[in-house]
Amino acid sequence: MLLLAFDTATPAVTAAVCQAPEGGGPHTVRTAAASSSVDARRHGELLAPAIRDVLAEAGAGPGDIAHIAVGVGPGPYTGLRVGLATALSLADALGVPCHGVPTLDAVAYASGRTGPFIAASDARRKEVFWARYADASTRTGEIAVDRPAEVDTGGLPVIGHGAALYPAALGGGSEETAAFEPLYPSASALGELALRRLLAGEDLDPPRPLYLRRPDAAEPSAPKRVGQWKA
């Protein structure tokens, strides 16, 4: 069974084909092909070719896909929607189910950690998206958006791009980027996590974006006076 996974909720554009043999359990899941590139301004251009390429590398065509899993953020909205619009439309055209995976869960899963930690990503405006994990595959709370100094780390290690951006507040003072890896989600981790959960009979989230903020928009004030322009 093939699952196509991708995520565009961070500066990374990442796509993967994950697979399990027919009748295989969660432990039989592996990644057949994967690609990642980091370019925060070109999600819309990079994603579709990346999907085409990982499918080709896996020796598969669109018609072989049985499930789609997409990162639902949170993350910068414009990039985030590239992944979701692609996933929803692909699933519609192919007639296959589409699942959502929180992007931070993919970062956490790829860390392989066995103890508690925090994963954080860049929320822009000097804030981070963050959540607590008991281990790589178990999130223990809701994802939040806060200023780095307001995140109560409780002394836990913090991983992800959010920690690398704000090492003083989140990194325990470390300047070593390696301490915060993985910085970005990989579709390989996202896809394997999703396919293992599907094979274990667990429910996945719907493919709905996690924005966590309302749109910036202010209702207009009274019209500007123009009378002073009159001679």
Partner 1 sequence: MSRDDLPLVLGIETSCDETGAGLVRGCTLLGEDVASSVEQHARFGGVVPEVASRAHLEAMVPTVRRALDKAGAAPSDVDAVAVTAGPGLAGALLVGVSAAKAYAMALDVPLYGVNHLVGHVAVDQLEHGPLPKPAVALLVSGGHTSLLLVEDLATRVRSLGDTVDDAAGEAYDKVARLVGLPYPGGPPIDRAAREGDPEAIRFPRGKWGDGTYDFSFSGLKTAVARWVEDAGRTGEDLPVPDIAAGFQESVVDVLTRKAVDACVDNGVEHLVISGGVAANSRLRALAAERCAAAGVELRVPRPKLCTDNGAMIGALGAEVAAAGLPPSRLDLATDTSLPVELPLAP
The contact set with partner 1 (CB under 8 A) reads 42-49, 51-52, 62, 77-78, 81-90, 92-94, 209, 211, 215-220, 223-227, 229-230
Nearer to partner 1, 85 or 204 (CB): 85
Nearer to partner 1, 83 or 162 (CB): 83
Q: Report the distance separating Cα 91 and Cα 189, nearest Å.
A: 20
Pairing of strands 98-101, 65-71: parallel
H or E stretch covering 3 = strand 2-7
Smallest distance from partner 1 to CB 153, Å: 31
Smallest distance from partner 1 to CB 13, Å: 11
Pairing of strands 158-159, 117-122: parallel
Cis previous bond, 74, omega within 30: yes
Smallest distance from partner 1 to CB 216, Å: 7
Integer Rg of the chain from CA: 20
Smallest distance from partner 1 to CB 35, Å: 14
Nearer to partner 1, 22 or 125 (CB): 125
Nearer to partner 1, 95 or 201 (CB): 95
Phi–psi pair at 214, nearest 5 degrees:
-75, 155
Start-to-end CA distance of the chain, whole Å, equals 77
Q: Report the distance separating Cα 182 and Cα 162, nearest Å.
A: 11
Classified as helix, coil or strand, 197 is: helix
Smallest distance from partner 1 to CB 84, Å: 6
Nearer to partner 1, 39 or 176 (CB): 39
